[in-house]
Structure 1
């Protein structure tokens, strides 16, 4: 089964690629890898939530937002090489705007990782870093970037 067929089976539609807010490309290919820029959880041109996780945003909300970030990253991959070119997800890095004392960054990033597992099964198993930060662009609670191997 192709990845595009798997997305359809899961009733998941890739969103339009989020336009860069500065001087960078949403994704770049070098050799057999695609690197995405950090993707915030934009939906239809705006952030559904802003603030720090553990204060204005709950961990559960942030987990859903991380899933949205991963969808935006997949959209960037798809726009560049087509989703069916993906061989495997290699690495995911997630940044969580964290309130003081919040230490649940890995749980937040599970929103992205679980989506990748749903879509790519074993090929979605990846290495990952989950980092707490003071602030993210536009007040986003979470940002996700990934590296995928492509055919």
Structure 2
């Protein structure tokens, strides 16, 4: 958060962008949405779930286009931020440190970095310089529930 900005800066920034963090997606198995250790929050992988339902299924490069997958990665990113918010509050974010994205890829699809730009660009829109991060974009054969994309975060937080 810029030092000159008052408490609540990121919440107001989301509002200015017309974005609302969704309700935290309940875990699908034996894990929690996010954990904190020291100054860092680690999120579990977040799928493109909206209002309790997976919004798309299939492989990127066949049933799902790269552009659609980038939009899904943005949804995953909002879900990951919701997990951070649910644990420590969005206004405690200091920096998005690392983004890891998994793309269920059809044979021959190699556009995983472009897909993950959907998440990365969102973090830039919201957090500016504090949203610049390291990233891995990994192609996989399957994801839970046949989701096309999954995103997880490492976030530095205050205190």
TM-score range with shorter-chain normalisation? over 0.9
Distance 1:28 1:48 in 2: 26
Q: Select the residue among 70, 77, 95 that pairs with 1:70.
A: 77
| Structure 1 stretches lacking a partner, 5+ long | none
Report the RMSD for the aligned CA atoms in angstroms: 0.4
- Could you tell me how far 1:82 is from its partner in structure 2? 0.2
TM-score of the aligned structures, taking structure 2 as reference length: 0.94
**Is the counterpart of residue 94 in structure 1 residue 101 in structure 2?**
yes
- For 2:66, the equivalent position in structure 1 comes to 59
Q: Deviations over 1:18-45 (max 9, x none)?
A: 0000000000000000000000000011
Distance 1:49 1:86 in 2: 29
- For 2:90, the equivalent position in structure 1 comes to 83
Distance 1:85 1:33 in 2: 11
TM-score of the aligned structures, taking structure 1 as reference length: 0.99
- For 2:40, the equivalent position in structure 1 comes to 33
Q: Select the residue among 136, 141, 147 that pairs with 1:140.
A: 147
**Is the counterpart of residue 5 in structure 1 residue 12 in structure 2?**
yes
Q: Deviations over 1:47-101 (max 9, x none)?
A: 1110000000000000000000000000000000000000000000000000000
Q: Select the residue among 110, 114, 124 that pairs with 1:117.
A: 124
Partner SS, residue 14 of structure 2: helix
| Structure 2 stretches lacking a partner, 5+ long | none
**Runs of at least 4 residues off by over 4 Å:** none
Distance 2:18 2:97 in 1: 24
- For 1:127, the equivalent position in structure 2 comes to 134
Distance 1:47 1:55 in 2: 18
Distance 2:51 2:12 in 1: 24
Paired residues in the alignment total 151
Partner SS, residue 92 of structure 1: strand
